[in-house]
Amino acid sequence: MKHSRQGKKDKTDGDDLRRKLFPYKMLSPFFVLTGIFVAVPIILMIAISFSSMGLDLQWEFAGWSNYKRVLADSSIPIITLRTVLFVVICTVLSVLGSIFIALMTTYYLDIAYKRENAGLLFRIIWLIPSLTPSVVYVFIWRFVFGSNTQALINGVLDKLGIAPVTWLANYPMQILIFICCLSSASGSVILFASAIRQIPDNIIQAARVDGASNFYIMRKIIMPYLRWPITQKTLWSVLSFFCTYEIIMLLTAGGPGGKTTTFAYYIYKNAFELHKFGLGSALSVLLVAMSALIGLVVLRVTKVEKQLYPPRMDW
């Protein structure tokens, strides 16, 4: 009898353990993939940052020398400041841009004026920048802002008798921000559009019955529903703009005179052009720390923990 009770207890304990372990078992493929593709590269990056690895890819311990070099680099403060400004401006503009496009195409065209086909068409057109490969995308903008009269804008100016402007020389950062924002805003249209579509029709109709204008509905009903997508988009934008380098490389190569060199491009330049992989890794560690810190600030500012409790889109 005693044995039988003991056996039942053991069985129950075993079931409890299995139940407790079940989620971890289900997550194990994710842990493995994250380990291989995220944790290992991070560990390697940190390890390389303590080496003097060059083109021969040999790991030679170099202590803190790479970090000391970074701290002694007189260009780091200006590059950091430039990067923060680039990230902040691009994030704000791309979030506002995404919301604006989504409101125009989804709320006004789809919901308010029942022109769903037109809304869909505009959304598809707006998706083009984010669907275009970076190389092609930048090539198109280089053609648009080219310095000679064969380029698009200068060609038009030439036809109007206005002297051509060397756009990329005079406004490199402005153009860089513009094309980065356009691409980023374009990619998030689907996110915001689907969030707007999830708003129950009866809420909007009730507001209309109460005499609310489109602008009022947009401000008081739609915008609160977009809090979660805005948080997600903001966080995503911050992290991706911190890491932007390929558009810079293709558009301005960090120039002219280093005016568009951001932290990520500086890392690329040190690691893959000058082949100082150790220094590049040390810079990368700092970039990861910096972006993680700003990411946490974004999460705190947007009070993400409060948004996680109720249903995200249809509360």
Partner 1 sequence: MLKMKKTIGLLAVTAVMAAGMLTGCGGDTAKDSSQSGQDTSAEGKTYTIRIAGNSESQRSENIIRACDRLTEQLAAEGCTDVVRGEYIMVPNDYQNEMALWNKTGDLPELIVGNVIMMHEFADAGFLTSAEDLINGEVYSQKLLPNMRDAVLVNGTHYGVPQDVDVRCVWINKEHLKQLGWSEEEMEALPRKAEEGQFTEGDLQALAKEAVDKGVSEWGIIHRPVFGSEFHLMLMMHGGQELYRDGKVVLDRSALTDTLTFLKQNVDMGLTPPELTTYGWEVVEGDLMPNGKTFCWYGGIWNKYDMMSAANVTAQFVDENFILILPPVVERGDTPISLSEPQAYAMTKQAASDPKLQEYCERVLEIVLDPDLQMYTTIETAHVAITSEMLEYPGYKSDEFMAKNSYMVEYTTMPVSDPMVRNQFLNASWFTAIQNVEMGSSDVETAVNTLIDEVTYSVGEGSYIVQD
Q: Please report whether residue 163 would count as binding partner 1 according to CB under 8 A.
A: no
Q: Please report whether residue 150 would count as binding partner 1 according to CB under 8 A.
A: yes
Identify which of residues 136 and 297 has a Cβ nearer to partner 1 in the complex. Answer: 136
Rounded to a whole number of angstroms, the minimum distance from the CB of residue 54 to partner 1 is 7
Q: Which of 79-87, 213-221, 223-231, 270-278 is the region at the interface with partner 1 (rule: CB under 8 A)? A: 270-278
Rounded to a whole number of angstroms, the minimum distance from the CB of residue 287 to partner 1 is 19
Where in 170-189 is the site for partner 1 (CB under 8 A)? 170, 172
What is the spatial distance between Cα 194 and Cα 191, in angstroms, rounded to a whole number? 5
Among 257, 305, 308, 309, binds partner 1 (CB under 8 A): 257
- 142 in helix, strand or coil? helix
Among 97, 119, 129, 146, binds partner 1 (CB under 8 A): 146
Q: Please report whether residue 272 would count as binding partner 1 according to CB under 8 A.
A: yes
Rounded to a whole number of angstroms, the minimum distance from the CB of residue 73 to partner 1 is 6
Q: Please report whether residue 75 would count as binding partner 1 according to CB under 8 A.
A: yes
Q: Please report whether residue 205 would count as binding partner 1 according to CB under 8 A.
A: no
CA gyration radius for the chain?
26
Q: Please report whether residue 56 would count as binding partner 1 according to CB under 8 A.
A: yes
**Residues sharing a CB contact under 8 Å with residue 44, sequence separation 6 or more, in sequence order:** none
Q: Which of 89-97, 124-132, 249-257, 281-289 is the region at the interface with partner 1 (rule: CB under 8 A)? A: 249-257
Identify which of residues 155 and 295 has a Cβ nearer to partner 1 in the complex. Answer: 155
Binding residues for partner 1, total number by CB under 8 A: 29
Query: Three-state SS across the chain?
Result: CHHHHHHHHHHHHHHHHHHHHHHHHHHHHHHHHHHHHHHHHHHHHHHHHCECCCCCCCCCECCCHHHHHHHHCCCHHHHHHHHHHHHHHHHHHHHHHHHHHHHHHHHHHHHHCCCHHHHHHHHHHHHHHHHCCHHHHHHHHHHHCCCCCCCHHHHHHHHCCCCCCCHHHHCHHHHHHHHHHHHHHHHCHHHHHHHHHCCCHHHHHHHHHCCCCHHHHHHHHHHHHCHHHHHHHHHHHHHHHHCCCHHHHHHCCCCCCCCCCCHHHHHHHHHHHCCCHHHHHHHHHHHHHHHHHHHHHHHHHCCHHHHHCCCCCCC
Q: Please report whether residue 160 would count as binding partner 1 according to CB under 8 A.
A: no
Q: Please report whether residue 72 would count as binding partner 1 according to CB under 8 A.
A: yes
Among 19, 37, 74, 210, binds partner 1 (CB under 8 A): 74
Whether the Cβ atoms of residue 179 and residue 159 lie closer than 8 Å to each other: no
Q: Please report whether residue 255 would count as binding partner 1 according to CB under 8 A.
A: yes
Q: Which of 73-81, 105-113, 189-197, 205-213 is the region at the interface with partner 1 (rule: CB under 8 A)? A: 73-81
Among 10, 60, 116, 273, binds partner 1 (CB under 8 A): 273
Contacts to partner 1 by CB under 8 A: 54-57, 69, 72-75, 142, 146-148, 150, 166, 168-170, 172, 252, 255-258, 269, 272-275
